[in-house]
Amino acid sequence: MGGVPQYLSGIVPGESAAQNIDRLYFSKTAPLRREFGNLYESLFTNTQHHS
């Protein structure tokens, strides 16, 4: 299972929103670095799930 709880589990209290976003999405070891690409591609690869 993933979804929102999975995304929120990466938030570090005490860091700003910008710091959390940078670390989660844009650093070299970011756990969600390829998330947008995976989600966007799945809309076209598995369109039957989204219609």
Asked if pLDDT for residue 7 goes beyond 90, the answer is no
Phi first, then psi, for residue 33 (nearest 5°) are -55, -40
Query: Are residues 20 and 10 in contact, defined by beta-carbon separation less than 8 angstroms?
Result: yes
Query: Are residues 27 and 21 in contact, defined by beta-carbon separation less than 8 angstroms?
Result: no
What pLDDT, on the 0 to 100 scale, is given for residue 38?
78
The residue with greater pLDDT, 43 or 20, is: 20
On average, the pLDDT of the chain sits at: 82
Q: Give the tens place of pLDDT for each residue, 11-34.
A: 999 999 999 999 998 999 998 888
Asked if pLDDT for residue 45 goes beyond 90, the answer is no
Asked if pLDDT for residue 50 goes beyond 70, the answer is no
